Structure 1
Amino acid sequence: MKSDRFNFHLPKRFFLTLLLIAVFVWSLFSVEWNKDVFHTGGIPTMLQILKAIIHPDLSPPLLILGVQSAWITLVYAVSGMSLAIIYAFIVGILASGILTSSKTSRLFSKVFFRGLLGFTRSIHELVWAWLFVAAVGLSPYAAILAIAIPYGGILGRIFADMLNDVPEQPVKALKSVGASRLQILFYGYLPLVLIDMVSYTMYRFECAIRSSAIMSFVGLGGLGYQIQLSLADLKYEQVWTYVFFLIVLVLFVDIWSNFVRKGMSEQNRTKLLRSGWLSSFFAILLITCSWVYITQGDNADLFALLTTQNLEYAKKFFGGMIGFNDKHPSFLDASSWSSAMKLTLETLEMSIMAIGFATIAAFLTVIPAARNIANGSLTLSKKWYNWILFGIVRILYIFSRSVPELVWAMMIIFIFKPGLLPGAIALALHNFGILGKLWAEVIEDMDQRPIRNLASAGASKGQMLFYGILPTVMPRFLTYILYRWEVIMRTTIVVGFVGAGGLGMQFKLSMSYFQYTDITLLLLCYMILVIIADFASESTRKAAK
């Protein structure tokens, strides 16, 4: 019986792998691979940028400005994530359908609430920020809500998937003794997914810091604003100073995340409780300080946004997007749809190319990046060079993911001519570090007993990798690839702002020329892409099981 099941799954996963490789190869044909992809003078500029890493500007005034900008970036991220978690937890549970009893109500719950999550996460946070700023002006709440809405949608979708993947046996056991739906939720579902939920939330918090940094593109402050000014003045030494501040923030979240994950996996109940209380206290303190700064230090009044003048601006802006007073709105014009769909296809190709590059790079580096391989606890083999490789790859991951896609794109556009390739490379550079970190954590959290059994039986490293580690972690690897692909698809709009092509470039032009119905059309195209990603993700996850 087990043999038949194995033989059935092996071809399915094999053909799925071939299909994904074929799609990636197809995306490569969207680029003309010749010497014309490079910019004239791009290589010398790249050398200047790389040289500036070694000699950042460390003058006291710049460091003081960096600390102030880093605090603003952190405050926006913390405040936005605090709202996102509340939204994601409530709507994610409803979207999973686990609280419903009948098939009809479960289907309705999944369709409606997943649709809500899909809409809120389909629009990139920078676009939300631009919409809020255009409607109500420059305000910290524009940045906070711009982070909270899409991040709540992303977290909610992942929470729903985690709850749906919970094994049925513990839930059936609780149902058999008459437990209520809430009891089943809190004693059956949540304990089994809590570590993964917290781990992914911490990861999204790290992403929120980078999102907070790029709010500068629409006039909101923070590290991104300083990076943008320095890049415009070609002061690369200052650029890297601010980037290093951003890396420090990412490292802070990374260390905190490792502390939380280590504490939650602690077997000793006393240590577990102490770790949980410390993390919870620090989180509450950070959230409180952030909101106090927003409301008191920054003098931001939420109700001030609801003035008659702001409401009139919002009415005019969103009315223009709907097409009021426009006899020929773009979203009702066939030729506009034809042009937009071509850009949509380009955006799809860019996203596939980017996730393909990032996946290849992460796959080649993830094994030495796992802590339990570096210390030999997984393979029962300690080598002196393991920790050296671990340190090099982890630093590479941190550096890669700490620099936002927008900053990577601003630098790469000096080297490559505008088009899909520089956008794909910028997205891949950023997501390489993210995928590598997430995959390394999957290896660190896996059940070590089967691998140790292979090691004690005399299996080589290659045999442990291909017969022990990879079969166990590949489903989770694939899940993260699909999640990141969906995020990349949304993020293509960011690199498009600096000339990387696709829907993003056209969106920036439409915003600059106040072509509101064009904006609506392009946002609809982004929603179509998210629907495609949702369908592909769900189908691929089911096929991989």
Structure 2
Amino acid sequence: MRFFGPWQRLTAQLWLLALVALLFADIEVISVDPWAELSRLALGVISPDFFATEFLLSALWQTVNFALLGVAFGIVLGGPLALVYQHPFVAASCAMVRGVHELFWALLFLQIFGLSPLTGILAIGLPYGATFARVFHDILAQSPSTTERGLPFNTDPLSRYVYGRLGHVYPLMLAYIRYRFECALRSSAVLGFIGMPTLGFYLETAFRQGQYSEGAALLMLFILLIGTISLWAKKNLIPVYLLAALWTIPDIGIIDGGLLWRFVSYDLLPPGIQGVIYTQMELSDGLNQFYQWLASITINQALPGVFATVILALSALGLSHLVALIAHLVASQHSGSKYRAVAGQLGLLVLRSIPEYILAFVLMLLIGPSMLPAIIALALHNGALIAFLLVKQEQGITPSATYKKRADFFAYEILTRVYPNLMGLLFYRFEVMLRETAIFGILGVATIGFYIDSAFAEIRYSNALYLLAVTALLNVVIDFSARKLVARQVGDSIAHGRSCIT
């Protein structure tokens, strides 16, 4: 019998990777006087000013507006793709699309449509559509085939699909759509940081100007918006909200077809290829120029950016594990008093509601532009989200008659039952952490997003496209590796359990 089980070994490997990553991470506190800034922020939190922001209700509604329309577009796109997701090309294409963060999609569409609602809706809807395709396909695969086989022989295909398969998994799909809508609200708020008329636009302005009372009020309203989704986002009201969103959407403006064609057919082409097609450059010279460009951007930008992104994400992964363990202990109904559990769950709501990007932005104002704010932001948000899901899972657990609400009893009897799910969620969130880590480059952290943002700023669209492709590929590889690792641990855990029994 092995002394260390599969999950203990996986935890040790995780922390070894995190500690090695921390050795390479830039976690220096650069701010001259972070405590003074922190006291100003604390003062703003306890004295929020809810009347300082103009067009506050409009900003809140536009945040909901972009989220609603983005999710609706994602469902329209992802629903049909779910039916053919088993095709390798469809699965690979969707994986690449969802591997790019919504903020990067927004930066790309910003070059075509400007600050048009299309930019925000497409930036949310496109990656969400790819995600819906995958998740809906997985959910439909779990649908039993008994009902479909029992339908009359002459039943049309649509009715056979709706009653035979969709009817079984419809509640699961609705639950996932609700979860993605909550995610879309956070994404919609973050789009304000690039100029879209959502809550993030006013948040960035308030915090950059040191108006912490105003910024705290905006964050509180956003947390309230997230926390009350179950009250205002009723299933029967969604069609009404969608119609209202379409009615109140800002003016889209005129789309310049010539500009769009130039962007796709010329601006996105890399050097060398551009010359061969448009300036009659010799093919050999064009290929040589293309190779030099590819080698230069790979060595000087892609590889350093990927290295910094992985280092930051691994550091945050280890800290997220620690935050999830502590937060779960505090918020669990099995570990302490009822009041402590309620307070802990309220804290989880606050931390999981604030997008990592906004949290990192605020922390960066306090302690300076290093990796440390990003690591803390990722750990707090993802650790709180995992702890929240664990608290929901443990509601079905009934402790033994001798159980006492102490840490040792909790670790032995409750934590062991939910720990495999904790690790599975942690590695699932690692893909999300990588996507979020990349966009921290827009805040000045030297991840791959820093080079992408610089490429857009310098109007080097071919550079940006290549780096976006590298980002997507990195996420696909990490996602595949993490899923394979967790699946192997589950198999080892079952085998370990059998060996202990025998």
TM-score, length-scaled by structure 1? 0.77
User: Which residue in the other structure is 1:151 paired with?
Assistant: 128
Indicate whether 1:305 and 2:297 are aligned: no
Matched residue, 1:289:
244
1:149-194 CA-to-partner distances (Å, cap 9, x unmatched) read 1122233333344455x39xx44x5687689998886567656654
Change (3 A) 1:396 1:460: closer
Aligned-pair identity in percent equals 23
CA RMSD of aligned residues (A): 3.3
1:391 aligns with 2:364: no
Distance in 2 of aligned mates of 1:69 and 1:402 = 17
Relative distance call for 1:45 and 1:540 in structure 2 (3 A) is same
Distance 2:404 2:158 in 1: 48
After superposition, the Cα gap between the structure-2 partners of 1:198 and 1:27, relative to the gap in structure 1 and judged at 3 Å, is farther
For 1:299, what is the secondary structure of its paired residue? coil
AA aligned to 1:27 is A
Q: How far off is 1:118 after superposition?
A: 0.6
Asked if the contact 1:39–1:415 (Cα under 8 Å) also holds between the matched residues in 2, the reply is: yes
Counterpart position of 1:245 = 221
Equivalent pairs, count: 474
Classify the secondary structure of the residue corresponding to 1:221: coil
The 3-state SS of whatever aligns with 1:413 is: helix
CA distance in 2, matches of 1:63, 1:145: 27
The AA in structure 2 aligned to 1:363 is L
The aligned counterpart of 1:207 is: 183
1:192-249 CA distance string (max 9 Å, x none): 6544443332222112111111212322111111112222322222212222221222
Structure 2 partner of 1:324: 274
Is 1:72 aligned with 2:80?
Answer: no
In structure 1, distance between residues paired with 2:134 and 2:53? 39
Cα distance between partner residues in 2 of 1:162 and 1:177: 21
CA distance in 2, matches of 1:305, 1:342: 37
Q: Residue 352 of structure 2 contacts residue 385 of structure 2 at CA under 8 Å; is this kept in 1?
A: yes
Counterpart secondary structure, 2:48: coil
Normalized against structure 2, the TM-score is what? 0.83
Q: 2:367 aligns with which of 387, 407, 416?
A: 416
Q: 1:406 to 1:466 in 2, by over 3 A?
A: closer
Deviations 1:84-138, CA, capped at 9 Å, x for gaps: 123333323432x4xxxxxxxxxxx2x2222122111111111111111101222
Given that 1:405 and 1:495 are in contact with CA atoms closer than 8 Å, whether structure 2 keeps it comes out as no
SS of residue paired to 2:55: helix
TM superposition shift of 1:254: 5.1
The one-letter code matched in structure 2 to 1:344 is V
Q: Quick one: which of 347, 355, 362 aligns to 1:404?
A: 355
1:267 is aligned to: none
Question: Which whole-Å CA distance do the structure 1 matches of 2:274 and 2:388 have between them?
Answer: 47
50-59 or 150-159, which moves further after superposition?
Answer: 150-159
Separation in structure 2 between the aligned mates of residue 82 and residue 322 of structure 1, nearest angstrom = 40
Residue aligning to 2:496: none
Q: Does residue 82 in structure 1 map to residue 72 in structure 2?
A: yes
Q: What corresponds to 2:488 in structure 1?
A: 543
Matched residue, 2:317 = 355
Structure 2 runs not aligned, ≥5 long: 277-285, 491-502
CA distance in 2, matches of 1:540, 1:23: 14
Change (3 A) 1:50 1:193: farther
The change in CA–CA distance for 1:218 and 1:179 in structure 2 (over 3 A counts) is farther
Report the 3-state secondary structure (helix = DSSP H, G, I; strand = E; otherwise coil) of the residue aligned with 1:29. Answer: helix
Q: Closer, same or farther in 2 for the Cα pair 1:338/1:309, shift >3 Å? A: closer
Conserved 8 A contact 1:331-1:337? no
Instruction: Report the Cα distance in structure 2 between the residues aligned to 1:409 and 1:471, rounded to whole angstroms.
Output: 32
- Where 2:31 maps in the other structure, the secondary structure is coil
- CA drift of 1:79 comes to 0.6
Structure 1 residue 38: Cα displacement:
3.9
Aligned with residue 121 of structure 1, among 98, 118, 131: 98
Between 1 and 2, higher relative CO (CA 8 Å, sep ≥ 6) is seen in 2
* Aligned partners of 1:323 and 1:517 also within 8 Å: no
Tell me by how many angstroms 1:502 deviates: 1.0
User: Residues 391 and 187 from structure 1, CA distance in 2 versus in 1: closer, same or farther, beyond 3 angstroms?
Assistant: same
| Amino acid of the structure 1 residue aligned with 2:453 | K
